[in-house]
Amino acid sequence: MNALTATGLHKRYASHHALRGLDMEIPQGSLFGLLGPNGAGKTTFIRIANRILAPDEGRIELFGAPLGPDATKRIGYLPEERGLYKGMKVGEQAMYLAQLRGLSTSDAKQRLRAWFERWELQGWWDKKVSDLSKGMAQKVQFITTVLHEPELLIFDEPFSGFDPINAQLIREEMLRLNREGRTLIFSTHRMESVEELCSHIALINQGQNVLHGSIQELKDRHRSGQFVLRYRSEDPTSLNLPEGAELTDHRREAQGIVAARFRAEIDDASRLLAALAPQVNVYQFEEVVPSIHDLFVQTVQGA
Amino acid sequence: MKPFLLVAQREITTRVRKKSFLVMTLLGPVLFVGLMLAPALIAMSSETEDLNLIVVDHSYVLPGTPKVEGANLAYFDPKEVSEEQALELVRTREDVDGLLYVPESINSDPEFSLQNAKLYTEGTAPLGVASELESLLERFAYEGKLRHFGVDPAVVTKAKSEASVQAFELSDEGSEASGTEIKTAAGFFAGILIYMFTFLYAAQIMRGVIEEKTSRIVEVLVTTVKPAQLMLGKILGIATVGLLQFGIWIALTALAATAIGSMGLLSPDPEQVAALSAAGQAAPELSGIQSALGTLDSLNLPALIGMFVFYFLSGYLFYGALFAAVGAAVDSETDTQQFMLPLTLPLVLTFILATSIMENPHGPLAVALSMIPFSAPIAMMIRIPFGVPWYEVAASMSLMVLGFLGTVWIAGRIYRVGILSYGKKPTYADLWKWIRMKP
């Protein structure tokens, strides 16, 4: 089952058309990366998923049912622009947000105490939010997002604005929550954070879903039959290539390392390596797999 | 608990616990009581410091009057003491505070010396003393002239009469005293309360909305609370805080006023009044107070209070929603100016027109202003003590209800879009687009 399914979403603002028939399938249990350049429509989609905005056209379903008013109890949302009431006490503020999400007073208090203990915030319960450091305020915000133990978590640019230590903490929490079976969606315009974290991604460009699937699937789909062989030698030596393979580049790459690049059939790796291995002292052999960033550039430019 | 109630509850608890709330709540009555006591205190303080003045009168207008309000007078023979000598006395003698000098007349014009009298004092002379001396000079000059024309001043005094016209309103049940002044005061006071409340607390709504917007917490809030609920929760929460504060103000002020009244500072004590009225001086004032109390009885207080509560709350809701919309449309308080003008102008204008309404409470202007929701709360409260036909009240109230439903709806539409829009300062055209935009 999908945690979230969107079909043909359209959203027009006064002066621009933010979503142009966006389709999206987010499998249950996935750690889903929502990629795209600034202004692609990521935040608009996220706001629609959180029922902050309503789409002009299209349908959106949460766990197989139309997105309704009680969806807020099943979703946790950390917006890109984060903030708390500055004059309010930390504990009270967290209690307020938890109660808005439907937690009872006693549940909210119990869970908050546990989280505050875990992240060493106990002493801050009665302090004002304005006394917190930025990193601590971010921790409190994260806690209030996940406190009601929602099945689906949506983070808009979760790593922007967090300092490196807290970003790492958040990253670990995200992986932990995902292991526990929660579905996580997060948007980012930084591709490098995606490959190590996500199981699935979707690329949004100009309000449309231009590329989506599991990371492995996407990489497999975009294999181009490029291979690189690195071997130990001072200078390129002449190589006997098997049939169907074509040398595209051959040069010294570093001290004592030469790289030879080939184009061959996609599933030819074994035959290629078998033919080449006896000829040189192999240092490394790999299929050149496009990075998500490459895929993104290719897809956007191809469109 | 319902999200809407949670929002209102948060508004109440966080505001009531603020130090500024406590300070304002306690300071308010102090200010009000201070205003009430000020006349009495001023009177008391001026009684204590009588000036000792030397009088050198070349015109010989003044006879040997020993005392006027605020000053003791000591007469010197103008033939023996010059202006300079008298001034020297003022400078050197500690028990002499000043000099009243009336110069010799030129060309035997008696008016000249009267118009060129001088009062020298060490330090600034109290304002009252100079005018007391002026009226003293005028009175004796007047009496002198009467005598010159062969008229006994005592005859003129006897010929004077005091008249008092009391207005009565004829109705089917008979006639009743109209007590215009007290009605004007009651209506105007109610109007002022509504005006103050609306400005004080509607502005707080606006600031609260701006705070939520600039702190960016609003985006999390709107996932669990509908924008309209968030707005209404805030408006009602702040209204509760405001009513609480107003209630405390009124209770504390009333308590303080009673306490002070029992000490005999505010109202003249009966013996004094009796003595004065026996002297034939305070009789008109006394009958004024009695008729005022009578008017208050005739005002039908429960209906008046009921109307006040209605216009108080509906006016606050009407403006509160609009102020919330302004808060949602802008990013900071400095940007509110352009949208505030159309909101404050009708309120201020109604106040400027208040005198015209009071002068002619049943005229077309007064009727029109009491129908338009922008001005109705104040205009109607001013008119009500003068008696407004029931169908006008009904029409005004219906329009008021429609009015605040309308502003709550419009404000809700602007609020919904505004709270998530940052950066560009919206124009009126943008607001119009927001109102028509689908959610």
Above 90 in pLDDT, residue A86? no
A81 contacts B216? CB cut-off 8 A:
yes
Q: Residue B376, Cβ neighbours under 10 Å: how many?
A: 25
Q: Contact, B93 vs B161, CB < 8 A?
A: no
- For A208, the token pair is 């449309």
A226 contact B CB<8A: no
Distance between A283 CA and the closest CA of chain B, angstroms = 53
A50 contacts B6? CB cut-off 8 A:
no
CATH number at B140 reads 3.40.190.10
Residues 6+ apart with CB under 8 A from A2: A25, A26, A27, A28, A61, A63, A64
Structural domains counted in chain B: 2
Q: Which pLDDT tens digit goes with each residue over B302-334?
A: 778 888 889 988 999 999 999 998 988 888 888
B209 contact A CB<8A: no
Q: Contact, B284 vs B161, CB < 8 A?
A: no
B-facing residues of A in 98-117 (CB < 8 A) are 99-102
Q: Could you give the C-alpha distances from B42 to B36, B61, B214, in angstroms and in order?
A: 11, 31, 48
User: Which residue in A46, A56, A58 sits closest to A184, CA to CA?
Assistant: A46
A77 contacts B223? CB cut-off 8 A:
yes
Above 50 in pLDDT, residue B283? no
For residues A17 and A31, give the distance between their C-alpha atoms in angstroms, rounded to a whole number.
28
The stretch A267-289 carries a mean pLDDT of 88
Distance between A175 CA and the closest CA of chain B, angstroms = 23
**B45 confidence band (pLDDT: 50, 70, 90):** low
Closest CB to B223 among A72, A82, A88: A72
Q: Contact, B314 vs B401, CB < 8 A?
A: yes
Q: Are residues B328 and B415 in the same domain?
A: yes
Contacts of A84 in chain B (CB under 8 A): 215, 217
pLDDT of residue B43: 65
pLDDT of residue B220: 87
Question: Which of A47, A81, A142 has the most B C-beta neighbours within 10 Å, making it the best mutation to test the interface with B?
Answer: A81
**B394 confidence band (pLDDT: 50, 70, 90):** very high
A88 contact B CB<8A: yes
For residues B80 and B56, give the distance between their C-alpha atoms in angstroms, rounded to a whole number.
10
| B271 within some domain | no
Q: Which pLDDT tens digit goes with each residue over B202-254?
A: 888 999 998 888 888 888 888 888 888 888 899 999 999 988 988 888 888 88
Q: Which pLDDT tens digit goes with each residue over B405-417?
A: 999 888 888 888 8
For residues B195 and B33, give the distance between their C-alpha atoms in angstroms, rounded to a whole number.
20
φ and ψ at residue B320, rounded to 5 degrees:
-55, -45
B6 contact A CB<8A: yes
Above 90 in pLDDT, residue A29? yes
Q: Complex ipTM, two decimals?
A: 0.78
Above 80 in pLDDT, residue A108? yes
Question: In the Cβ-directed half-sphere of B294, how many Cα atoms lie within 13 Å?
Answer: 14
Q: What share of chain A is helix, strand, coil (3-state, %, to 5)?
A: 35, 30, 35
User: Which residue in A148, A150, A149 sits closest to A63, CA to CA?
Assistant: A150
Q: Are residues B244 and B359 in the same domain?
A: yes
Contacts of A145 in chain B (CB under 8 A): 220
**B169 confidence band (pLDDT: 50, 70, 90):** low
Question: Which of B20, B223, B416 has the most A C-beta neighbours within 10 Å, making it the best mutation to test the interface with A?
Answer: B223
| B378 within some domain | yes
Q: Are residues B380 and B247 in the same domain?
A: yes
pLDDT of residue B293: 52
User: Between these two residues, A181 and B2, which has the higher pLDDT value?
Assistant: A181
Q: Are residues B196 and B234 in the same domain?
A: yes
User: Which residue in B373, B400, B418 sits closest to B231, CA to CA?
Assistant: B418
| B163 within some domain | no
Q: What share of chain B is helix, strand, coil (3-state, %, to 5)?
A: 70, 5, 25
Residues 6+ apart with CB under 8 A from A67: A49, A51, A60, A61
A84 contacts B221? CB cut-off 8 A:
no
Above 50 in pLDDT, residue B285? no
| B430 within some domain | yes
Closest CB to B222 among A52, A54, A145: A52
Residue of chain A whose alpha carbon sits nearest to that of B18: A87
- For B166, the token pair is 């009391």
B223 contacts A87? CB cut-off 8 A:
no
Q: Are residues B191 and B252 in the same domain?
A: yes
For residues A131 and A118, give the distance between their C-alpha atoms in angstroms, rounded to a whole number.
20
Q: Which pLDDT tens digit goes with each residue over A232-255?
A: 988 888 888 888 888 889 999 888
**B276 confidence band (pLDDT: 50, 70, 90):** very low
Q: Are residues B353 and B429 in the same domain?
A: yes
pLDDT of residue B295: 56
The stretch B78-100 carries a mean pLDDT of 84
pLDDT of residue B397: 93
| Structural domain boundaries, residue B247 | 180-256+298-436
For residues B367 and B353, give the distance between their C-alpha atoms in angstroms, rounded to a whole number.
12
For residues B176 and B167, give the distance between their C-alpha atoms in angstroms, rounded to a whole number.
9
**B178 confidence band (pLDDT: 50, 70, 90):** low
Q: Are residues B355 and B421 in the same domain?
A: yes
Question: Which of B9, B14, B219 has the most A C-beta neighbours within 10 Å, making it the best mutation to test the interface with A?
Answer: B219
The stretch A55-83 carries a mean pLDDT of 88
Q: Which pLDDT tens digit goes with each residue over A219-231?
A: 888 888 889 999 9
Distance between B222 CA and the closest CA of chain A, angstroms = 6
B225 contacts A100? CB cut-off 8 A:
yes
Q: Are residues B248 and B387 in the same domain?
A: yes
Give the total residue count for chain A.
303
Residues in a beta bridge with A9: A22
Instruction: Match 């927001």 to its residue by tokens.
Output: B434
The stretch B20-36 carries a mean pLDDT of 83
For residues B381 and B307, give the distance between their C-alpha atoms in angstroms, rounded to a whole number.
8
| B20 within some domain | no
Distance between A188 CA and the closest CA of chain B, angstroms = 18
Above 90 in pLDDT, residue A95? yes
Above 80 in pLDDT, residue B184? no
B420 contacts A72? CB cut-off 8 A:
no
Distance between B225 CA and the closest CA of chain A, angstroms = 8
pLDDT of residue A283: 92
Give me the torsion for CA of A187, A191, A194, A199, rounded to 10°: 90
For residues B196 and B171, give the distance between their C-alpha atoms in angstroms, rounded to a whole number.
35
**B273 confidence band (pLDDT: 50, 70, 90):** very low
Q: Are residues B88 and B213 in the same domain?
A: no
Q: Which pLDDT tens digit goes with each residue over A185-221?
A: 999 877 777 888 899 999 998 899 988 899 888 888 8
User: Which residue in B93, B287, B92, B99 sits closest to B181, CA to CA?
Assistant: B287
| B10 within some domain | no
- Give the three-state DSSP class for B166: coil
Q: Are residues B242 and B308 in the same domain?
A: yes
| B16 within some domain | no
Share of chain A above pLDDT 90, in %: 39
Average pLDDT over all residues of chain A: 88
| B161 within some domain | no
Q: Could you give the C-alpha distances from A47 to A1, A41, A96, in angstroms and in order?
A: 22, 10, 22
The stretch B276-288 carries a mean pLDDT of 47
Q: Are residues B97 and B246 in the same domain?
A: no
B224 contacts A101? CB cut-off 8 A:
yes
B217 contacts A85? CB cut-off 8 A:
yes
Question: Which of A75, A77, A85 has the most B C-beta neighbours within 10 Å, making it the best mutation to test the interface with B?
Answer: A85
A86 contact B CB<8A: yes
Rg (CA), chain A: 24
CA B167 vs. chain centroid, Å, equals 25
pLDDT of residue B284: 47
**A259 confidence band (pLDDT: 50, 70, 90):** very high
Q: Are residues B207 and B354 in the same domain?
A: yes
User: Which residue in A118, A111, A109, A110 sits closest to A139, CA to CA?
Assistant: A118
Above 50 in pLDDT, residue B365? yes
User: Between these two residues, A130 and B290, which has the higher pLDDT value?
Assistant: A130
- For A156, the token pair is 């808009």
